[in-house]
Amino acid sequence: MTSRTAAVDLSTRDLTLDLARVVCVLFVIVVHLVQVGIGPGPDGELIASRPAEQEPWFDTVTWVGQIMPLFFVVGGFAASVGWRSWTAKGGDAAGFIRTRTLRLAQPALPLFAFFALVLVGATAIGAPPALVSDAAIGAGSPLWFLAAYLICQAAVPWLARAHSLAPRRTLALLTLGVVAVDVARFSSGVTDLGLLNLLFVWPLVQQLGFWYADGWFDRRHPVTLIALAAACYLVLWPLTAWGPYSTSMLGNLNPPTVPLVVLGVAQACLLRLLRPVLSRLMRARVMQGAVFLLGSRLMTIYLWHLPVMLALTGVTLLIPGAAPTPSSPEWWWSRPVMFVAVLGVLLALSLLIVRWEALGTLSATPPRGVVAVAWLCAFLPPFAVMQWFLDLPIAVVGALLLAVAVVLLRRGARRTQPASVRSEA
C-alpha cells in the first residue's frame, strides 16, 4: 500500500474531491442496502420489497441523500483537469473519448456477461420468474449512470472549449435546454421526451465542475455559498409542492429533471464549504490510504455492489435465523453488518478483476468513425437497462455490444500493471 500511495503525486490533486467521490459511491451502497429487501411474502414465496420507500421520512431524506449530482460535479472537475492535461500533451478529442469510453466499457463487460450467465441459470433451475425479474431490475438499476456518464465524457472536448470561450453563455444554453425538455415533457404528458435531458441535465451539472476547477467557488465568500445553497433548497420546495416534479429526488432521476440541477448547485456550494474540514481529514495517512484503495477500485465497487448485496442476502436466506424480515427492527439493525460484508466481498472481487479493468498501454487512436461506433456500442446496453430494465436478452446483447466496443477501442493495446489510482470520474 505504501509504494502505491507514494506513486501518486499528491501535489497535483485536490484530495477532497477524491474523498468526495469515494463517499458518494459508498453512500450509494448504503441507500441500496435500505432500499432493497428480500423475504417471504404472504404466501410464503420470496418477494422483493423496498423498505425505505415505505417510510414517511423517505422523500425528505432524498433531498440530502440523492448525491449523484455531486458525483457529476466532481466528475466535471476531473474531466476539466484531465482534458487540459490531455491537450497539453498533444492529445485530440477522439483519443480522449476513446480512453474515457474504455474506462467505462471495460469494467461493464464482465458485469453484463455475469448477468447473462446468472439469468440463464435462474431460468434453467426454474426460479420464481417474478423474483428473478425483481432481482434483475434491482441489480441493473445503477447502470443508468454508465449511459449518462458516457454522454458527459463524450461531450467534454466541446463543452470544455465552449466553457473557455463563453462560460456563462454555455451554462445558460444548457439550462434553457433542461427547462425546454421538461416543459415539453410535462405539457405533452409524454414521459419519454424527458430522455432528451440526458443531453442537458448531466452535462450541465458536469459543467458546474468546470467552474469548480476554475476556482469560481473558491472565490465566493462562505456566506455567499451558504446563501446560494439555502436558496437552491428553497427553490426545490415550490418546484415539488406546486410544480410537476416528484417530492422524492430519486423520483426525479430517470428521466433527469430540473430539480437535480438545482440540487447540484447546492451540493457544489456545500462541498466547497466543507473543503477545510475534508482537507484536514485527508492529511492523515490512514485516510489517504483508505481513499486511494477504494478510489482505485471505485468502478468495480459501484457496478458490482448490488449483485454482491443480492448474493449475500441469498446466503443469509439459506441460513436459519440469519435473514431478518425486511422492515423489521432486526432488519434495520442488520444493515451496518451487511454494509461491512458487502464492502469486504467487493474488495476481494476487485482483486480478481482489477487487471482486466486496467487500460494498459494504448496504441494510436483508431479513426474517429471507429471510436464513434465503439462509443455507441458501449452506450446502448446501459441505456437499454435504464429504459426497459435488465432481462436476459438485454444482458446477452449488452455483453456482445460491450465486447465489440472493448475490442475496437483496445486494438493494438498492451497489458500493463493496473494503475494505483483510476479516475473514472
**Mean pLDDT in order along the chain per 10 residues (425 residues):** 45 84 95 90 78 93 95 97 95 96 96 96 86 88 96 98 97 98 97 97 98 97 98 96 95 96 98 97 94 92 95 91 91 96 95 79 88 98 96 97 96 54 43
Q: Return the pLDDT at 11.
A: 53
SS3 361: strand
Domain assignment present for residue 424? The answer is no
Domain assignment present for residue 35? The answer is yes
Domain assignment present for residue 416? The answer is no
191, containing H or E segment? none
Domain assignment present for residue 143? The answer is yes
C-alpha closest to that of 54 among 305, 246, 244, 248: 248
Tally DSSP H helices, then E strands, for the chain. Answer: 16, 2
CA 35, CA 29: separation in Å to the nearest integer? Answer: 10
Give me the residue label for grid cell 421520512. Answer: 57
Q: Which amino acid is at 294?
A: L
**How many domains does the chain contain in total?**
1
pTM: 0.92
Q: Return the pLDDT at 127.
A: 81
Domain assignment present for residue 124? The answer is yes
Other beta carbons less than 10 A from residue 274's beta carbon: 14
Q: Return the pLDDT at 420.
A: 40
Whether the CB-CB separation of 33 and 342 falls below 8 Å is answered with: yes
156, containing H or E segment? helix 144-165
Whether the CB-CB separation of 35 and 53 falls below 8 Å is answered with: yes
C-alpha closest to that of 260 among 189, 197, 192: 197
Domain assignment present for residue 385? The answer is yes
CA 318, CA 297: separation in Å to the nearest integer? Answer: 30
Q: Return the pLDDT at 316.
A: 93
Q: Return the pLDDT at 423.
A: 44
* Residue 129 CB-density burial (10 A; 0-12 exposed, 13-18 middle, 19+ buried): exposed
CA 386, CA 383: separation in Å to the nearest integer? Answer: 5
C-alpha closest to that of 383 among 135, 121, 176, 202: 202
Residue 306 belongs to domain spanning: 2-409
**In the 8-state DSSP scheme, what is residue 418?**
P
What is the chain's Cα-based Rg? 21
SS3 416: coil
C-alpha closest to that of 314 among 306, 323, 305: 323
Cell of 269: 456550494
Domain assignment present for residue 153? The answer is yes
Q: Which residues contact 35 (CB under 8 A, 6 or more apart)?
A: 50, 51, 52, 53
Domain assignment present for residue 420? The answer is no
